Amino acid sequence: MGDMFQNATPLARGSTLGDQATTALRGQILNGDWPVGTMLPAETALSQTLTVSRSVIREAVSRLKAEGLLESHQGRGVFVASNRPKSGFAIDSRDVDSRRKLAQILELRLGIEIEAAAIAAQRRSQADLDSINRAVEEFAAVQRFDPGRVRDGVDADMAFHRAICVATQNEYYLGLFNYLGASLHEVIEAGRLRSAQRGGDSREAAAEHHTIAAAIKAQDGMAARKLMRRHLALSRDRLLGHLWGAEDGE
């Protein structure tokens, strides 16, 4: 594994860990070191080679799936799907450094996930409910026993929202979530870190997750839509407040 990235694109200074990991993995594909059809090394091996956490690797893989370079084969792993990235819609990693642009990205997220919750309530399977409930419990457990595990909390939070998108049975909801989630993961983590330092408000978020999951279980699409709208609006306000306070500039 030591020479796995010997021909990779150099990492950009000052970029986030997610950017750096994405650049490294993308470089392996575009340089031809990982041809189409190649199965990626295990998440643990990649995290050790790049000296980043597994959550950063997951973020990078999600970005590259959104670019059309990678695809998952259930029960087998992640494979190189193409060596030509899709062109079109994109969020620059630097956009989340602007309050105005981050607010717009979060508004976009509301538009996607509110309706996803309503659709999930109508289409969810028992397996979907199990995944949603597991994520609810994991997030609540982090807040209850060790609120200082910020990264684990963000991972569990993202797992909850991802499970709801999976329950829509619409691959494009999941694809959009993976793309937005990869763009937002680190800034949400930064906001949660400040929240933890000030006493935290993740217990409220955990309670909100519980009520959304209950509405989806009851197949109440109207309630799921309403509860998700409230949850994401509160989450947006909490995040912007922790990062910028009352400021309203760039």
Residue (of 143, 178, 139, 185) closest to 160 by Cα position: 139
Residue 8 domain-assigned (yes or no): no
The pLDDT of residue 5: 59
Residue 4 domain-assigned (yes or no): no
- Tokens representing 68? 């059309």
Residue 12 domain-assigned (yes or no): no
- Together in a domain, 110 and 222: yes
The pLDDT of residue 115: 98
- Together in a domain, 138 and 185: yes
pLDDT, one tens digit for every residue, the chain (250 residues): 345 555 544 445 446 788 889 999 999 999 889 999 999 999 999 999 999 988 889 888 988 887 889 988 877 899 999 988 776 677 777 788 899 999 999 999 999 999 999 999 999 999 999 999 999 999 999 877 676 688 888 889 999 999 999 999 998 898 889 888 878 888 888 888 877 655 557 789 999 999 999 999 999 999 999 999 999 999 999 999 988 875 554 5
Question: Could you tell me which residues come within 8 angstroms of residue 25 by beta carbon, excluding any fewer than 6 positions away?
Answer: 40, 46, 60, 61, 64
- Together in a domain, 62 and 130: no
- Together in a domain, 172 and 63: no
Domain that holds residue 152: 95-244
What is this structure's pTM?
Answer: 0.71
Residue 232 domain-assigned (yes or no): yes
- Together in a domain, 39 and 124: no
Phi-psi region of 199 (alpha: psi -120 to 50; beta: other; left: phi over 0): left
Q: How many angstroms separate the CA atoms of 97 and 118, rounded?
A: 31
Residue 89 domain-assigned (yes or no): no
**Where is 80: in which H helix or E strand?**
strand 77-80
Residue 125 domain-assigned (yes or no): yes
CATH number at residue 39: 1.10.10.10
Burial class (CB in 10 A: 0-12, 13-18, 19+), 7: exposed
Alpha helices in 2-149 (DSSP H): 17-30, 43-50, 54-66, 99-123, 126-145
- Tokens representing 110? 């509301």
- Together in a domain, 60 and 103: no
C-alpha to C-alpha distances, 33 to 1, 3, 5, 39, 216, nearest whole angstrom: 13, 11, 9, 12, 44
Q: Of how many residues is the chain composed?
A: 250
Q: How many angstroms separate the CA atoms of 170 and 128, rounded?
A: 13
Burial 229-250 (b: 16+ CB within 10 A, else e): bebbeebbebbbebbbeeeeee
CATH number at residue 125: 1.20.120.530
Residue (of 209, 197, 196, 198) closest to 235 by Cα position: 209
Q: How many angstroms separate the CA atoms of 216 and 170, rounded?
A: 16
Q: How many angstroms separate the CA atoms of 106 and 242, rounded?
A: 15
Question: Could you tell me which residues come within 8 angstroms of residue 102 by beta carbon, excluding any fewer than 6 positions away?
Answer: 95, 96, 187, 239, 240, 243
The pLDDT of residue 2: 41
